Homo-oligomer: A and B are copies of this chain.
Amino acid sequence: MIRTHSELLAYIESLVLKRPDFFVTELISPKEKIIQQNKRYSYLYIIKSGIVKCYLSDENGKDFIQEFLSTGMEFGELEVFSEKPSFCCVESITKLEVFKISYTDFNKLLDTDTNFSRLILKAMAKKISYKAPRHSYQQSYPIEDNILKLQELYPGIDKIISKKDIASYMGVTMRSLNRALNTLKHKPVK
- Which of A's residues lie within 8 Å of B, judged by CB? 56, 58, 60, 62, 64, 66, 77-78, 80-82, 84, 87-88, 110-111, 114, 117-118, 120-122, 124-129, 131-133, 135-140, 171
Q: A58-B137, A58-B140, A140-B58 are in contact. Are A66 and B121 (CB under 8 A)?
A: no
Question: 10 additional contacts, CB 8 Å, given A56-B133, A138-B139?
Answer: A56-B136, A64-B140, A82-B126, A82-B129, A87-B129, A87-B132, A117-B121, A124-B125, A124-B128, A135-B135
**A78–B125 CB distance below 8 A:** yes
Cβ distance A136 to chain B, nearest Cβ, rounded Å: 4
A135 touches B78 (CB 8 A): no
Are A88 and B132 in touch, CB under 8 angstroms? yes
Residues in B neighbouring A129, C-beta threshold 8 A: 78, 82, 84, 87
Report which of B121, B131, B138 forms a contact with A121, defined as CB distance below 8 A: B121
Taking CB as reference atom, which chain B residue is nearest A107?
B118
A-B contacts, 11 of them at CB < 8 A, read A58-B136, A58-B140, A62-B140, A78-B129, A82-B129, A110-B121, A111-B114, A127-B128, A128-B131, A131-B132, A139-B171
- State A124–B80 Cα separation when bound (angstroms): 12
